[in-house]
Amino acid sequence: MANETPAEGDAHEAEATHDTAASPTDGTHATTEAHGGEHEAGFPPFDSSTFGTQLIWLAITFVVLYVVLSRLALPRIGGILEDRKGRIDSDLAAADASRQKTDAAIAAYEAALAEARKKSHAIAEETRNSIKADLDAKRGAVEADLNKKVADAEARIKATKTEALGHVGEIAADTVETLVSKLVGNVSAQDARDAVAQVSKE
């Protein structure tokens, strides 16, 4: 190297400068090749070399998710479902109680209605019998009064007739006495009565 001529030294310096200037391009090319190698490796989850790690993280994630759900979400969901079931059962029980009360009220109403009808029929029958008995009593009283009045009238008529018949003889005797006295002359009242009595017997 010490025996190099000045011309050779200049040549070596020029070559070194050329190598230094070309190094940025070489770095860019190397980076491009590295990226190309990464693209050729494929999507990381599908890389078979990471399956073990992925399975471990999947198991850890599943355990954590299960613990969170079993400790937090599932009890709350179960409580909500239990509360809803309790409300539904309570509503059904209330509806059944209301139905039973309604049935009991309807049965009581029908029983009261039947009892009222029975009482109304009994009252109507009693009223009808009472009115009939009252009418019969009044009719009996009226008939008795009429019979008494008829009997009294018949008795008065009979007495009047008897009295009238009792005076017929006297009237006839007086009439005969008057007529005979005018036709024949004086006739005694006794003779006139005897003559009327004789005619009445015939």
Per-residue pLDDT at 79: 87
Give a yes or no: residue 31 inside a domain: no
34 vs 178, residue with greater confidence: 178
Give a yes or no: residue 9 inside a domain: no
Tally of domains in the chain: 1
Domain that holds residue 137: 54-201
Segment among 82-86, 112-116, 137-141, 176-180 with least mean pLDDT: 176-180
> How far is the C-alpha of 129 from the C-alpha of 161, rounded, in Å?
46
Residue at token pair 């009693």: 126
Mean pLDDT computed over every residue of the chain: 76
Average pLDDT over residues 104-112: 94
Give a yes or no: residue 191 inside a domain: yes
Per-residue pLDDT at 183: 66
Give a yes or no: residue 96 inside a domain: yes
Q: Answer whether residue 182 shows pLDDT above 50.
A: yes
Per-residue pLDDT at 45: 67
> How far is the C-alpha of 202 from the C-alpha of 200, rounded, in Å?
5
Share of the chain above pLDDT 90, in %: 34
CB 181 within 8 A of CB 200: no
Which residues have CB under 8 Å from 181's CB, separation 6+?
187
Written as six digits, the tokens of 18 are 């050329």
Per-residue pLDDT at 2: 42
Per-residue pLDDT at 74: 83
125 vs 10, residue with greater confidence: 125
Segment among 54-68, 134-148, 186-200 with least mean pLDDT: 186-200
Show the DSSP H helices in the chain as ranges. Answer: 6-41, 51-68, 74-183, 189-201
Per-residue pLDDT at 53: 87
pLDDT digits over 35-77, tens only?
444 444 566 667 777 788 889 999 999 999 999 888 888 888 8
